[in-house]
Structure 1
Amino acid sequence: MVAQECAEANMLDRTPTTDGTGPTGSDTSREQQTAVDKALTLLMSLAQEDREVGVSELARRTSLTKSTAFRLLGILQRNDVVERVGSSYRLGPQLFDIGRRVYGPTPLMLQERLLPFLTELYVLTQETVHLAVLHRTDVMYVNKLHGHRRARTPTRIGSRMPASCTAVGKALLAFDHDAAEQAIAGGLPAPMENSVTDPEDFRAELARIRQEGIAYDREEILPGVSCVAVPVMGAGGRPVAAVSVSGATGRLDPARIAPELRRIAFEAARELGATTRLRARREPATSQQTAAA
């Protein structure tokens, strides 16, 4: 099936397009890359919409001929990467499964294991609650809970933000010297007037976070929204994630929330530690059973 699809993709590029722009060279690897490029262009165009899109519209957006777009969409459809709805198309379920694995198994494990703690935090605060992990110099949001009076945050599950502008990011950078220095070397972004952009001021804030164990976002990513976060510590004194509470500035009281936030993060870390120890005990037993067999 894969070989057949690759052959079909190559044929798409060997056949000159009606507008005269199709490739005519004999370099097979270049032809394959061109076909993949075209397929990815179609996927990215579909990703910009919350609705189904017709072939003619997709062809216009991607500068492909209608016949090329139609045949590529057929290949993608057979692999569940896109779905056909009548004469239109939308992204398929296989992309969701692939996307969940982009950052490896750890975020998925954290999302599942720490959901009860995020739920408890939301019940206590009735504010927007986040779970995030560090990805290079960004934070990636693993989970998010909110109610009817949720804060107007720019975050969603799976999205990324510059770590230096967020409470969860600063809570994680404070305990990762290399990542913090990379963030500083890359230039600290300033989405808001309150964002910390001076390297020495930022290092001083990270030092305070290491001492107090709590980080703040004082309208540094969005006007009118504040946030307080703490790290969830793992083995070796390094955080594996951070949890936060976000709310409207003035309504959110960090001093009131901080004790419960620290307690829940501590209990979450203890749960992760117990899970890790249990897995470590099981793995030697499994290895012994495999060797014996």
Structure 2
Amino acid sequence: MSEIVVERPSSARDDRAAVEKAVNLLESFGSQGSTGIGVSELARRAELSKSTAFRLLGVLERNGVVEKVGQKYRLGERLQELGRQVLAPGHEQVRDVLLPFTMDLYELTRGTVHLAVLHGVEVVYLSKLHGHRPVPSPSRVGGRAPAHCTAVGKVLLAYDHDALDRVLRTELRRYTASTITDPAGLAAEIARVRDEGVAFDDQEAAPGLSCVAVPIFGVRGKVVAAMSVSGPTGRFDTRAQAGSLRRVGAAASQQLALLGRRNRG
């Protein structure tokens, strides 16, 4: 009787599959990357068995890519550090220059203040300022969020046509019942933002959270960042706060443009 030879998957193929599963698992955190999510829900979103998801999370936790908080997992500091390495060197300078203006905005509004830049089809948060009782929010410094459903993202897309084209060609993921997922609807919304110079997010990224944002201009009128203020829906009137945000944004833009001209000269 001839010997039956069973072909086994190559080691490279196994490694490739494991990496793809780990990446899918990380992507499944979505907007709950900083607040945490249970292993069962992560497994469902990544289309993995619970045992496979649990095993991969263990490996990721040992390497600092995710953190376990109680019975939930959240994205870890090491992943945030890797994300910061892809930012342009000038972003740290932008953050440092604009930090006093974020403090001014907080004093005026007592809301949660963000400073963000665009990276691909996502926003990256450079700074976050809040009081003793912050509203639960998926954002954190160094963290990312989809541009299409955040006020800062809409502002940045309004002044970056290439990035807007990429976003409109991708599937617009729904995060809440208010998230705009229709490309035509989003394009119309961004056109309005471009005309009015201010963007709103009414529970589009997270339930119970409303936000308003304006662009921050640098040398030659180029938008380099977005500044926003947010608070609990129903108790924080973003329309009423738009005036303070516009004034602080204009002052921040003037300062950033002045420093840019000095550096160029």
What is the TM-score of this pair, normalised by structure 1? 0.64
For 2:260 and 2:239, the matched residues in 1 are separated by 32
Structure 2 residue corresponding to 1:207, chosen from 191, 215, 222:
191
* Amino acid of the structure 2 residue aligned with 1:262: R
Tell me by how many angstroms 1:97 deviates.
Answer: 7.6
Contact 1:232 1:243 (8 Å CA) reproduced: yes
Tell me by how many angstroms 1:104 deviates.
Answer: 2.5
Kindly provide the CA deviation profile for residues 210-242 of structure 1, in whole angstroms up to 9, marking residues without a partner as x: 111000101001111100000112234331000
C-alpha RMSD of the superposition: 2.4
**Which stretches in structure 1 are left out of the alignment for 5+ residues?**
1-22, 24-40, 52-90, 282-293
Residue-pair matches, total: 202
1:155 alignment partner in structure 2: 139
Tell me by how many angstroms 1:188 deviates.
Answer: 1.2
For 2:154 and 2:230, the matched residues in 1 are separated by 14
Cα distance change, pair 268–194 in 1 and its aligned pair in 2 (3 A):
same
Q: Any idea what SS the aligned residue of 1:129 has?
A: strand
Kindly provide the CA deviation profile for residues 90-133 of structure 1, in whole angstroms up to 9, marking residues without a partner as x: x89xx998765431212211111100000000011111000000
For 1:196 and 1:228, the matched residues in 2 are separated by 16
For 2:201 and 2:208, the matched residues in 1 are separated by 11
Structure 2 residue corresponding to 1:45, chosen from 55, 63, 70:
63
Kindly provide the CA deviation profile for residues 32-57 of structure 1, in whole angstroms up to 9, marking residues without a partner as x: xxxxxxxxx77862332379xxxxxx
For 1:170 and 1:182, the matched residues in 2 are separated by 13
Contact 2:230 2:238 (8 Å CA) reproduced: no
Contact 1:127 1:149 (8 Å CA) reproduced: no
Contact 1:209 1:215 (8 Å CA) reproduced: yes
Percent identity, aligned pairs only, is 46
Structure 2 residue corresponding to 1:105, chosen from 86, 89, 105:
89
What is the TM-score of this pair, normalised by structure 2? 0.70
For 1:48 and 1:269, the matched residues in 2 are separated by 36
1:16 alignment partner in structure 2: none
**Which stretches in structure 2 are left out of the alignment for 5+ residues?**
1-10, 12-58, 70-76
2:183 maps to 1:165:
no
Q: Which has the higher contact order (CA 8 A, sep 6+)?
A: 2
Structure 1 residue corresponding to 2:176, chosen from 187, 192, 197:
192
